[in-house]
Amino acid sequence: MRIISLKTDLDQVISEYRKSGKRIGFVPTMGALHQGHVSLVEASRKQADVTVCSIFVNPTQFNDKNDLLRYPRTPEQDILMLEQAGCDVLFMPPVEEVYPVPDTRVFDFGYLDKILDGAARPGHFNGVGQVVSILFSMVKPDVAFFGQKDYQQVMIIRELVRQLNLPVEIVPCPILREPDGLAMSSRNTLLSAEERKVAAHVPEFMQKAAQIYHEQDIDQARSYIQEAVSSQALMRLDYYMICDRNTLREIEHKNQPAISLIAVFVGKIRLIDNLFLD
């Protein structure tokens, strides 16, 4: 695996690949890698000739300074995991390589940016749009892989690609979970042992709410989540919504394809998860 930190070095490698007609797969990450990230690399290896992974903790997508400061960083371990996963190129740029000057672009993602994490984390998706468009311009991928754990993010990226008319295919990949059901996340490592136990209730409550939704309706599912979360001293609900999977608008009829999405604080750590309601 080639490890690259400078844009000029990346340019050289990418232009060699392009000259030889290789299909380039790209997996952007913020590091502190887990099996969820590895599954994206594996998906890329199946669908592309070469896989480029980036590790970059993007300052512009953090609306909370402390969240940025305490974001986990485990570069040595990440390198080993990516080598084992068969990644070809790891791009780990310093901030100045990605933002030689401040990025002042403001995207208009319309409704998509005004709900759920867009409402809870102002500016977050604008920062995601900035970094992903910059990384796409550097890596020039044919195909890029994103986890459905960040379901709204996948929709934002698709909108970004549409607005900027970028020649890249976006492939959403399934959520990988720990044995107790908790969605894998770099932020899980920040939980104390007690918080980690409590966090396992998130997928459990989501499943139960899905059952209530099927047997009763949205309101009962929502009330159940509110009560279940508030019964846990260490948990605080940020949002729970049942939306149309294609639009992220709150569903009106049960025959719409539905997804439930949740954001919960466990202690100081904010976790997100989602579940298709089939």
Q: Name the token pair of 156.
A: 């934002």
Nearer to ligand AMP, 243 or 274 (CB): 274
Residue 112: Cβ within 10 Å count: 18
Nearer to ligand AMP, 183 or 225 (CB): 183
- Map residues 129-168 to x or -, x wherever contact with ligand AMP holds by CB under 6 A: -----------------xx-xx------------------
Nearer to ligand AMP, 30 or 251 (CB): 30
- Map residues 166-205 to x or -, x wherever contact with ligand AMP holds by CB under 6 A: -------x-xx------xxxx-------------------
- Restricting to residues 13-42, which ones interact with ligand AMP according to CB under 6 A? 29-30, 36-37, 39-40
Report the alpha-carbon distance of residue 124 to residue 44 in Å, rounded.
26
Q: In whole angstroms, how far apart are CA 110 and each of 115, 134, 163?
A: 10, 21, 12
Report the alpha-carbon distance of residue 149 to residue 136 in Å, rounded.
21
- Is 58 strand, coil or helix? coil
Shortest spacing between CB 32 and ligand AMP, in angstroms: 7
- Is 146 strand, coil or helix? strand
Shortest spacing between CB 239 and ligand AMP, in angstroms: 18
Report the alpha-carbon distance of residue 234 to residue 224 in Å, rounded.
17
Query: Closest CB to ligand AMP belongs to which residue?
Result: 147
Q: Name the token pair of 27.
A: 């997996």
- Write out the residues near ligand AMP by the rule CB under 6 A: 29-30, 36-37, 39-40, 146-147, 149-150, 173, 175-176, 183-186
